[in-house]
Structure 1
Amino acid sequence: MPSGNAPTVRQRRIGSALRKARDHHNLTVATVARRFGRSQGWMSMVENGLQAIAPEELSDLLDLYEIEDGPLRESLLHLATHKPGSWERTYEDRISAAALDLASLEEDSAEIRTFQSNIVPGLLQIPDYARKIIALGNAKHPHRIKTLVDFRISRQRVLSRPDPPRYVPIIAEAVLHNQVGGDAAIMHAQVQSLAGAARLDHVELRVLPSRASEYLGLSTPFHLLSLRPPGRLTVCVGDQLTKSVFVEDENEVAAHEEIFERLLSVALSRTASLRLIHEIASRP
């Protein structure tokens, strides 16, 4: 479905931070609106993520709340100054707002951590593999498949740009053996592609071995995106059957970060993971 004018995760994160800062100073919306020269309605919409705020106005509000230079201020101003790239704009009327939000956050991430128990993460999928996965979930909408595949592959450019984010995907060992659509050739090509990606300096691909499969019950697939500049803002995105769900509550994000660290602690080392992937990729 098209993105429309749905509030973005950027607006919600800015609004949440502003509301927390206002509460910290024991100020009412009416008081801040009066001091700031804006209506209460406008202030409420900003705090609820329903209204974008210009970087200049955000800077003035941060001054009012005494949020000085540092990671939090820099992150919030960066969120407010984001402008979608040309490739993102081409999909605005054809891709859901949540998918565009995810791609936008990936572009602005200093680090992306991913846990996938069933399939290869989207940022590492080859086109044929992505097409099989997407077609399975869009049997009733075959006309959308090409657009969705093109969009997924376009997202991958974030890993090949001059200043890529650090990318740490954890995949279950079974992912390396699951044949998508029963096509062994596609899976063989996909594993070979994974072997190449795992050699990149900024990619730390880790495999959760079958002997630790009980840990798969800790969570459904999710992504942790730590935004630039690093230090304060992390968003969690959970994968569900038909959509992605953004988890922005700090306690819930922290819980997912703890789960990720537990999974990382039992995953094969980077070297051992690469060795296993190479072994599977070399099989005829």
Structure 2
Amino acid sequence: MEGEPTAELIRAQLRRLRLNANLSQEEFGKLVHFSGSQVSAVELGQRPLDRFFLKRADEVLGTGGLLTSLLKLAERDGQPSWLRPWLEAERNAQQLWCYHPTLVPGLLQTENYARAVIRADDMLSDDEVEKRVAVRLERQAVLGRPQPPKLVAVIEEAVLRRADESFRGIMTQQVAHLVQCVERPHVSVHVIPAEVSTHVGLAGPFTLARGDDGGWVGYLENQLGGTPIDKDEDMAILIARWESVRSEALPRRQSAELVKEVITSWT
């Protein structure tokens, strides 16, 4: 897997902890609901590291969550080198401004919504889908910090209403999650109503992060991944475009009412 040095550390720690507990691979497998051969394959690197397996291993071995914490590090290490500066900026942000024309922003997605969006790429294996879902959910931890960043998200009304019968259950859960999110004092969601036909944001999604030093970093998403932005002249353009997009959106209270109205219209 990507992040291989950390993955090797996980496998070594797993084997050490199992041996210290005087458990054979077969005995340990029964406790974590895996076969002895599956345990062996994990320890030898012949089977991908599995979040459920490591969570059960942490519980059985009493590690205090060591193995799953190391898995998060491995997943972080496995991110493309061009993305890591943005992830660092996101983790350390005091303010986050994000706009997406077609999706609920990643920091506000439910697990099922994130999985459906990621799985839409049929070139990804099931294991890769689950790994990306886990990374996306882990990134949301920034909003649960003791002093979280102020998050302002702007979305399109059409995003809320995109729900055919097969997607209605997932979308109902997602919109209900948005309602819960906006009840937090540090989260604001603003909706651009459907009657606004065109504006500069429709050119593509972007996110801006302001750090402790007052500096801004941007991130542009595209079909091949994304591009971190840090040049002053580029940031000036993105901040101006953010102000334009934000001005098209409804105020916070009216946006919250519209989100709730969407749920009511389905039920």
Shared fold, TM over 0.5: yes
Task: Tell me the amino acid that sits aligned with residue 188 of structure 1.
Answer: T
- What CA deviation, in whole Å up to 9, does each residue of 1:50-105 have, x standing for no partner? xxxxxxxxxxxxxxxxxxxxxxxxxxxxxxxxxxx967523145332344433322
The one of 165, 172, 177 equivalent to 1:188 is 172
CA separation in 1, counterparts of 2:224 and 2:146? 33
Provide structure 2 residue ranges, at least 5 long, that are not aligned to the other structure: 5-68
- What CA deviation, in whole Å up to 9, does each residue of 1:9-58 have, x standing for no partner? xxxxxxxxxxxxxxxxxxxxxxxxxxxxxxxxxxxxxxxxxxxxxxxxxx
The one of 183, 200, 209 equivalent to 1:199 is 183
Match in the other structure for 1:91:
75
Match in the other structure for 2:147:
163
The one of 243, 248, 255 equivalent to 2:225 is 243
The one of 105, 126, 130 equivalent to 2:110 is 126
Match in the other structure for 1:272:
254
CA separation in 2, counterparts of 1:126 and 1:183? 13
CA separation in 1, counterparts of 2:153 and 2:164? 19
1:37-52 matched pairs, under 5 angstroms: none
Q: Which moved more, 1:195-204 or 1:90-99?
A: 90-99
Return closer, same or farther for 1:217/1:227 CA change in 2, 3 Å cut-off: closer
Shift of 1:264: 0.9
Matched pairs, number: 203
The yes-or-no answer on 1:152 pairing with 2:131 is no
Native 8 Å contact 1:110 1:166 kept in 2: yes
Provide structure 1 residue ranges, at least 5 long, that are not aligned to the other structure: 5-84
CA separation in 1, counterparts of 2:90 and 2:71? 14
Return closer, same or farther for 1:255/1:226 CA change in 2, 3 Å cut-off: same
Shift of 1:217: 5.3
Return closer, same or farther for 1:207/1:161 CA change in 2, 3 Å cut-off: same
The one of 193, 198, 202 equivalent to 1:209 is 193
Return closer, same or farther for 1:214/1:137 CA change in 2, 3 Å cut-off: same
- What CA deviation, in whole Å up to 9, does each residue of 1:182-201 have, x standing for no partner? 41100010000001101110
Q: What TM-score do the two structures reach when normalised by structure 1?
A: 0.66
Return closer, same or farther for 1:180/1:99 CA change in 2, 3 Å cut-off: farther
Q: What TM-score do the two structures reach when normalised by structure 2?
A: 0.70
Q: Which runs of 4+ in 1 moved over 6 A?
A: none
CA separation in 1, counterparts of 2:180 and 2:222? 28
Shift of 1:138: 4.7
Return closer, same or farther for 1:87/1:115 CA change in 2, 3 Å cut-off: farther
**2:185 partner SS:** coil
Return closer, same or farther for 1:154/1:206 CA change in 2, 3 Å cut-off: same
Native 8 Å contact 1:234 1:253 kept in 2: yes
The one of 237, 243, 267 equivalent to 1:255 is 237
**1:175 partner SS:** helix
Match in the other structure for 2:86:
102
CA separation in 2, counterparts of 1:226 and 1:86? 28
Native 8 Å contact 1:222 1:236 kept in 2: yes
Task: Tell me the amino acid that sits aligned with residue 249 of structure 2.
Answer: A
